Amino acid sequence: MKKTKTLSMLAVIILLGASVISCKQKGIENLEEAQAEATTDTNPMMEQDHDEFLAAIEAYLTTIGSQYSPGEVCIPSYTVVAINDSDTSYTRAWGDWWVFNYNIVGDTLKCVSGGNHPGLMYLKQNNTHEWFVSSFDQVEDGSRNLPSAKRIFGEYYDTFHKVNSDQHHRDSVRLLQVAYYVQQHNLPVTMLQDYGWSAVALPLNQ
């Protein structure tokens, strides 16, 4: 049975072409609006019927994060653009994938490094029916950025471009996903901070 779903809601291997974002250069913008949107205690990364892919995607992104300047914790942030499981041998997940490494300083997660690696992940199941990312087709950098993005995302390019270029959306996604990670791992933090920017309160449910 063919299933293709574009996720409009909230739902990064340093390779040639990876977009590396320095926490010294980029902070969360429109803080009040982003915080207002980031108010959930459920997993914001995907809708419920795709939860089975979360562990595989997050494990792969965390492996990517290990190739950046290290931090104490690595927390992915991403929007899944579409999922297609029409092929019986694998499932495809297109997304705007990000990864950030943080150090814990007092009650604050301070960003150390991070980057953006949009593209297409191929997921398979092993003999114990656990999902894993078998390959990753990543959008290239420089002059190949636009043509590779259009090739990889195909009919989903417009959706990808919309979420990738929307700083406010990305900030809201990041706050939600960091807050969810903090609560799931019982981290003693309440704030997130990029270098040179004011700390931001996480939308934690008390």
For residue 155, being part of any structural domain is answered with: yes
Looking at the chain, the whole-number percentage of residues with pLDDT higher than 70 is: 75
For residue 80, being part of any structural domain is answered with: yes
Taking residues 26-49, what's their average pLDDT? 50
Residue 22's domain comprises 4-201
Distance CA 129, CA 132 (A): 9
Number of domain units in the chain: 1
Taking residues 189-195, what's their average pLDDT? 96
Q: Are 137 and 120 in contact (CB under 8 A)?
A: yes
| Of 8 and 197, the one with more pLDDT | 197
Instruction: Provide φ and ψ at 32, rounded to 5°.
Output: -65, -45
Distance CA 118, CA 173 (A): 15
Kindly tell me if the per-residue pLDDT of 144 is higher than 50. Answer: yes
Kindly tell me if the per-residue pLDDT of 150 is higher than 70. Answer: yes
For residue 206, being part of any structural domain is answered with: no
For residue 85, being part of any structural domain is answered with: yes
For residue 154, being part of any structural domain is answered with: yes
pLDDT tens readout for residues 52-111? 788 899 999 999 999 999 999 999 999 999 999 999 899 999 999 999 999 999 999 999
Identify which of 190, 195, 194 has the alpha carbon closest to the alpha carbon of residue 206: 190
Distance CA 17, CA 201 (A): 33
